[in-house]
Structure 1
Amino acid sequence: MQYRVMGKTGDRISVLGYGCMRFPKLNGKIDEERTKRQIYTAIEAGVNYFDTAYIYPSSETVLGNVLAGGYREKVMIASKIPPLLVHSVKDMENILETQLKRLKTDYIDYYLVHSLNSKEGWDRMKRLGIESFLEKAKQEGRIRRIGFSYHGEGRDFKDIVDDYPWDFCQIQYNYMDENAQAGREGLMHAAAKGLGISVMEPLRGGLLAAQMPEHIDAIWKNSGIGGTPAEWALRWVWNHPEVTVLLSGMNEEAQLSENLRVADSSVPGSLTEKQKECIDAVKKALNEKLKVGCTGCGYCMPCPAGVNIPVCFSYYNDKSIYEDKTVGMQYMGMLAGMDGGKPSYASLCKDCGKCERHCPQNIPIRAHLKDVSKSMEPFYFKPVAGVLGGYYKLRGRFVSKGKK
């Protein structure tokens, strides 16, 4: 197993981290015995970083049960506090105490603010007292490192990185998302600040490992480089020295075996020119299915109506490229204000045209936003977004009154 240092923390972390959101299932529930065998195999092969979250169903409890068998001190646990469920410091305390009980431990090594999508979402958490809560929990030894995971656009990511003395961060990064969300620019910015970097979705939820369209699959087969699409997607991420740990949600023994094998030989700068050319060719072929040629540069932002234009286009493109049914739910989760920030979905567009005056690619943004709205916002989208908005307003007033 290869190891890298988690930024300024100095912790030695296995390059392959175990994502605990997708444990194997049996009769609709997590198959704990099979999960245990898989986790023990990973630990014995050198994996020492396990990533879970408060909102992953039963994940913390199962991980706690498995590690209680003499393995807790051999690994580092990362878990997350969900902004959606936080309205006061008391909520933060209750969530952390619940997590410690589920995990059967006195401390969590790496503690993240989960899925920040905007600077506004982070500012809301600050107003609720997250900074003092985190520092207190760290001083008491209940958490050891402080970080955040992110799914928003690049500009806000850098603002959040610069706004707090984080130990690490977690971003989505793969060869198709090199310039999406935090992207390469965000990766380099966080690394320059000394943050350790955990990468999620290296296979885009398995899409980069799945059966590709025939003409794209032929690129791999005709390249002569061998290996599977999953292997080269993983190697592409590990080729970046700024990446500390890559998270993989392994729930099949074959996946675990392949990932362990690839991790053993993946060092920064190890991809050959031929290998990189093959990956670039696959990326180009996939990008030809794009609906909108947006590079995510952000010159169109901020939108006066609050639309997160690059992220709207990113999800719209994903739906076209991968034909993935879950993209619509991801769009809602990220753009309907579920982190407590303001909604930023496509149909909020007021047709003012400011974005188009600043777009270096001369994209007809307003027309495309209408297409995004039709494709990504079903009849129930706005009612759900409205309920969320009303919920946060009511909770905000309740919390404000409670502080008086």
Structure 2
Amino acid sequence: MGPEESKTVMQYRTDKKGNKISILGYGCMRFTKKGTSIDLGRAEKEVMEAIESGVNYFDTAYVYGGSEVTLGEILKRNSCREKVYIATKLPHYMVKSKSSLEKYFQEQLKRLQTDYVDYYLMHMLTDIDTWERLKALGVEDWIKEKMDSGQIRNIGFSYHGNTDMFIKLVDAYDWDFCQIQYNYIDEHSQAGRRGLDYASKKGIPVIVMEPLRGGRLVNLLPEKAKEIFKQDSRNRTPAEWAFRWLWNQESVTSVLSGMNSLEMIRENIRVASEVKVDEFTKEDFALIDQVKSEINKNIKVGCTGCGYCMPCHKGVDIPGAFHSYNMIYSENRKSGWRDYIMCTVMRKTPSSASQCVDCGKCEKHCPQNIEIRKELKNVKKELETPVYKIAKAAVGLFKLW
């Protein structure tokens, strides 16, 4: 028996085993925080609001600091483990042996306070070579053991990369599901529409992450793009347009949203209750095309803020630096500069782009294949101006005082 269906208006799509998954999934990487730690009280209210409204798919991972522990505690406190599907991810890049597969998995079960995982993913499987390395360690036998025992109910992988490699990975194993970055900007990049449709035709459910491109399709939209949305008489927000574009496609099983406010949860649930497959008109597609055109004119670095490049051993806030850099062009220089001051100087430990020592470790983990070192130099050139240095020195003196 799967999670109980809600009496709310949430809609569901069925996976290959007949499980009904809410079309809106809860991305737990961005749980509400107080300072640098997850705010358990607020996160609990938000998670329970989502569950009571019919959201039943919760996505977390071993490397999402505190996320698994928080989700497990919330589900235990409210006795609702059986009402939801838990999806979490194996940090295969940390795995050195078959025994370490078991070590990480058991640690995850303990964190989540459960004895099984509904949907288990190879986290950020990058290419066939990576999968072959895991096979050599015995991952296929390990997966079979866990599936036979019921400790893992469905096995899949999450992916960032190009379409051709995605298709090869889809064909490399009998996967139960997969997870890809997909949105109207990435329609023909990453796994893309071709990858989405390929997986779907093979009967593999597709979970979508980064529907708003790390907030870029809302917070970093160019003013002209915002105006295009505003001119539409239906008064839809940019986020609503992005979600509707995804749910318009039958191949999309569920869309993850990193929801961290009750308002965001309620709005997303409202939209999820209204959408229909193939509801987009020619005019709707034309509007999205206009917005895409405006976005592509302004964005300098295609960073989604996923944080896989972090932590930098020299303390650089890489996603924060790129966010500020993009703001110069998507909003204005003042906004970008102010944001950069906030994310690099107004902290206990400075995190400026100029702290980069060109080691390149971050680039090995970037799902977007960004030339991080090169772009950080651009950030330094554009944002670390004489005025910035004065502000940095002033803040430093204030800290000493």
| Common topology (TM > 0.5) | yes
Structure 1 position 121 matched with structure 2 position 121: no
Question: Structure 1 length normalisation: TM-score?
Answer: 0.74
**Aligned match for 1:81, one of 90, 94, 112:** 90
**Aligned match for 1:98, one of 97, 107, 122:** 107
**Aligned match for 1:42, one of 26, 47, 50:** 50
CA distance in 1, matches of 2:107, 2:126: 25
Q: Which residue matches 1:226?
A: 235
Counterpart residue identity of residue 374, structure 2: S
Q: Which residue matches 1:375?
A: 374
Q: Which residue matches 2:383?
A: none
Shift of 1:373: 7.5
**Aligned match for 1:202, one of 186, 197, 211:** 211
Question: Structure 2 length normalisation: TM-score?
Answer: 0.75
CA distance in 1, matches of 2:81, 2:255: 20
Identity, % of aligned positions? 46
CA distance in 2, matches of 1:291, 1:21: 25
Contact 1:117–1:153 (Cα < 8 Å) also in 2: no
In angstroms, what is the RMSD of aligned CA positions? Answer: 2.8
Shift of 1:9: 2.0
Q: Which residue matches 2:33?
A: 25
Contact 1:81–1:95 (Cα < 8 Å) also in 2: yes
Q: Which residue matches 1:360?
A: none
CA distance in 2, matches of 1:333, 1:208: 28
Q: Which residue matches 1:353?
A: none
Structure 1 position 185 matched with structure 2 position 184: no
Structure 1 residues 338 and 237, CA gap change in structure 2 (3 angstroms): closer
Shift of 1:290: 6.6
CA distance in 2, matches of 1:100, 1:37: 23
Alignment of 1:317-356 (within 5 A): 335-336=363-364
Shift of 1:338: 7.9
Q: Which residue matches 2:158?
A: 149
Contact 2:363–2:372 (Cα < 8 Å) also in 1: no
CA distance in 1, matches of 2:52, 2:150: 27
Structure 1 residues 64 and 322, CA gap change in structure 2 (3 angstroms): farther
Q: Which residue matches 1:365?
A: none
CA distance in 2, matches of 1:39, 1:197: 22
Aligned length: 323
SS of the equivalent of 1:145 reads strand
Shift of 1:28: 2.2
CA distance in 2, matches of 1:228, 1:178: 20
CA distance in 1, matches of 2:365, 2:263: 38
Contact 2:71–2:112 (Cα < 8 Å) also in 1: yes
Contact 2:205–2:253 (Cα < 8 Å) also in 1: yes
Alignment of 1:230-309 (within 5 A): 230-289=239-298
Counterpart residue identity of residue 93, structure 2: L
CA distance in 2, matches of 1:79, 1:175: 25
CA distance in 2, matches of 1:378, 1:186: 34
Contact 1:166–1:195 (Cα < 8 Å) also in 2: yes
Structure 1 residues 334 and 118, CA gap change in structure 2 (3 angstroms): farther
Gaps of 5+ in 2: 1-9, 302-321, 344-352, 379-401
Gaps of 5+ in 1: 293-314, 347-371, 380-404
**Aligned match for 2:167, one of 130, 147, 158:** 158
Q: Which has the higher contact order (CA 8 A, sep 6+)?
A: 1
Shift of 1:274: 2.3
CA distance in 2, matches of 1:277, 1:40: 38
CA distance in 1, matches of 2:135, 2:148: 18
CA distance in 2, matches of 1:92, 1:287: 41
